[in-house]
Amino acid sequence: MQQPDLRVLIPRQDIAAKVQEMGETLSRDYRGKEVLLVVVLRGAALFAADLCRCIEADVVIDFIAVSSYGSSTSSSGVVRFLKDLDESVESRHVLIVEDIVDTGLTLAYLMENLKSRHPQSLRTCTLLDKPSRRRVDLRPDYVGFTIDDLFVVGYGLDWDQRYRHLPDICIHSEK
Ligand code: 5GP
């Protein structure tokens, strides 16, 4: 297979600074409360691992997995549960942690699903946002970087399960 060109879009130092800043905001907003981080596998795992260490509040972490694009780089619009939470969300402050919001279909689906389980509060946090691609009316509560319509990899984000381990967020040329 031919190697696509990878060009750094967001270097690791900028990611680290942004994650720290988001952690400070979350620490303010959840001060004195317990927050349940619902980390969306697999992409958000690296972001969540760094973010949770910057939050000064009572943090509980759980994971959820829904179907993603597979090896394609455009949305199928189909969202499917692959792994549910172990924790109950009822009466808790829940924060969904995503790697990237693109069409918004995944997050909209997750929000509807978690809302029906009666959390005390439900907010959303994403490292990357591509608002120009949105197909539903949805604005995440906490956004790290707003980016153009580019396909990115690294820092948890994959292309056909590859490149998640890259420390920088890079543009994948095969779009
Ligand atoms: P949405 O449902 O908002 O269209 O898509 C959300 C999911 O699509 C993300 O969690 C991620 O798995 C995948 N995705 C969307 N855009 C990108 C991208 O630029 N790069 C990668 N690697 N995945 C993306």
Given ligand 1 and candidates 101, 102, 164, 169, which is best to mutate, with the most ligand atoms within 8 Å of its CB? 102
Check 102, 129, 158, 168 and give the catalytic one.
102
* Residue 175 domain flag: no
Note the pTM of the prediction, 2 decimals. 0.93
What CATH number corresponds to the domain at position 72?
3.40.50.2020
- Report the distance separating Cα 66 and Cα 174, nearest Å: 24
- Report the distance separating Cα 141 and Cα 90, nearest Å: 20
Q: Name residues of the chain where pLDDT drops below 50.
A: 1, 70-71, 73
Cβ-based neighbours of 82, under 8 Å, separated by 6 or more? 41, 65, 66, 67
Q: How remote is the CA of residue 7 from the centroid of ligand 1, in Å? A: 18
* Residue 82 domain flag: yes
Which structural domain, as residue segments, surrounds residue 119?
Answer: 12-149
* Residue 119 domain flag: yes
* Residue 142 domain flag: yes
Residue 172 is predicted with a pLDDT of 93
- Report the distance separating Cα 128 and Cα 56, nearest Å: 22
Residue 76 is predicted with a pLDDT of 57
* C-alpha distances out from residue 25 to 31, 48, 142, Å: 10, 15, 9
How many structural domains does the chain have? 1
* Residue 159 domain flag: no
* Residue 170 domain flag: no
121 strand-pairing partners: 93
Residue 67 is predicted with a pLDDT of 80
Q: How remote is the CA of residue 101 from the centroid of ligand 1, in Å? A: 6
What pLDDT, in 10s, does the model give residues 91-133? 999 999 999 999 999 999 999 999 999 999 999 999 999 999 9
- Coil vs helix vs strand at 154: strand
* Residue 157 domain flag: no
